[in-house]
Amino acid sequence: MIKKARETMTAKERVAATFRFEKTDRVTIGYEANPVAHKNLCMALSVPENDWLSLYKTLGVDYVGVGAPYIGPEIYENIPNRRRTADTGAVMRLIENEFGSYWDYCDFPLKNSDDEKIANYPFPNPDHYDYDSVDRRINELMEEGFAVHVGGASLGDILNSTGMIMGVEDALMNIATGHEATLQMIDKRLGGALEVTERILMRNKGKIDFLWMGEDLGTQHTPLISKTTYDDYLRPRHQKFIDLAKAYGIPVLVHTCGSSSWVYEEFIEMGVNGVDTLQPEAANMSPSYLKEHFGGRLNFRGCISTAGPLAYGTAKETEEICKDTLEILMETRGYHFAPTHQIQDNTPVENIIAMYNAAHKYGVY
């Protein structure tokens, strides 16, 4: 059902050339989907649900992320009917809807906490991760022909991750006011994440194609924080991850939800190579706006809205929006075709197929 474009480059070559704004055989392709949408797509394409690499090959996906699993002692208390993340201890509950379910954050462990509890909140020891499994995974992916990235949309994230631990209101207020205990807690968490990332890069020199980090910085219409708050508290902490990637000679992609283009000039100054998500319905995030203001200076990944025709339109409408987006952003030669977020469970499978067929039909240079 997926009619792939003719390829003359490897995935690693294609990804590297895209980050350099060079002409490629076709756009790079990415994939993220929620469980039900993923299951429906696998069934339609006759691919086993857990055989991710086969699905990636069917769709033409170019890169796969790696991360080290935590294998150390349990440091967060189990809570009945809840799930806790291994890296932060954030608490989630299962929310069901007519299309499936998702895990949403709740019961924030540091909400309304005193300074001592915040400053002493525990995070995993970088020694307690399985780096050998990462090495094996990277070698497997390379043998299968994929490019590899380290990190993801939550690496280096400050606002979201802190909100998941203490609630959004406390997180935004404490960061904006420079609350010492909160900043100590953030630095402890980021320091561990930076160390884990560096160990992966060190053990796999020359094998990683880019570093992916994230920070949601906008609502649909406005910035989440002031530029002063970004400069004072977020920028120097983000810079450490960017500098690490540069030390290993790899590009940096930053995930930014909502209306986030207000900070892109600073990203360019900091050495960021590309931005991800790019919700076209958010203020100053349309493909034409991004191309006009940042084309040739930042790579763009996303812009295929998971809240537009892909979810609510027809296959034909999905094809048309993908075609239009490709026509605009391919001119920069720095475009990575992908959904703005995880493809949602209410998305018709025929639209997902139309989306990826459009990438191969119209995404050829």
Q: What secondary structure does DSSP assign to 164-188, as a single string? A: HHH-HHHHHHHHHTT-HHHHHHHHH
Mean pLDDT of 273-284: 97
Average pLDDT, the chain: 97
Whole-angstrom distance, CA of residue 142 vs CA of residue 103: 32
- The secondary structure element, H or E, covering residue 91 is strand 91-96
Helices vs. strands in the chain: H and E counts, helices first: 15, 11
Reported pTM: 0.97
Interaxial angle between packed helices 35-45 and 349-362, expressed in degrees from 0 to 180 and rounded to the nearest 10 = 70
Phi, psi of 53 (to 5 degrees): -65, -35
Encode pLDDT of 281-328 as tens digits: 999 999 999 999 999 999 999 999 999 999 999 999 999 999 999 999
Give the rounded distance of the alpha carbon of 53 from its chain centre: 18
For the structural domain made of 11-73+111-362, what CATH number should be given? 3.20.20.210
- The string of DSSP codes covering 49-66 is TT-HHHHHHHHT--EEEE
What's residue 34's pLDDT?
96
pLDDT digits (tens, 9 = 90+) for 99-121: 999 999 999 999 999 999 999 99
Residue 301's pLDDT is what? 98
Contacts of 100 (CB under 8 A, 6+ apart): 34, 35, 36, 345
Model confidence pLDDT, tens digit, residues 200-219:
999 999 999 999 999 999 99
In this prediction, residue 121 carries a pLDDT of 98
Q: Which run of H or E residues covers position 212?
A: strand 210-214
Which residues are CB-neighbours of 54 under 8 A, at least 6 positions away? 47, 48
Would strands 147-151 and 101-106 be described as parallel, antiparallel, or unpaired?
unpaired
Write down the pLDDT at residue 22. Answer: 98
According to the model, what pLDDT value does residue 341 have? 94
175-199 per-position pLDDT tens digit: 999 999 999 999 999 999 999 999 9
The pLDDT score that the predictor gives to residue 47 is 98
Q: Are 204 and 13 in contact (CB under 8 A)?
A: no
Distance CA 255, CA 235 (A): 15
pLDDT average, residue stretch 119-138: 98
Confidence of residue 349 (pLDDT cuts 50, 70, 90): very high
Cα 289 from Cα 302, distance rounded (Å):
14
Tell me the per-residue pLDDT of 17-52, one tens digit each, with 9 for 90 and over: 999 999 999 999 999 999 999 999 999 999 999 999
Identify the pLDDT of residue 23.
97
**pLDDT score at 188:** 98
Residue 40's contacts (CB-CB under 8 Å, 6 or more residues apart) are 349, 352
Show contacts of 313-319: CB within 8 Å, 24+ apart: 313/351, 314/351, 315/348, 315/350, 315/351, 315/353, 315/354, 316/354, 318/351, 318/354, 318/355, 318/358, 319/354, 319/355, 319/357, 319/358, 319/361
Determine if residue 278 is left, alpha or beta; phi over 0 gives left, psi from -120 to 50 gives alpha, anything else beta. left
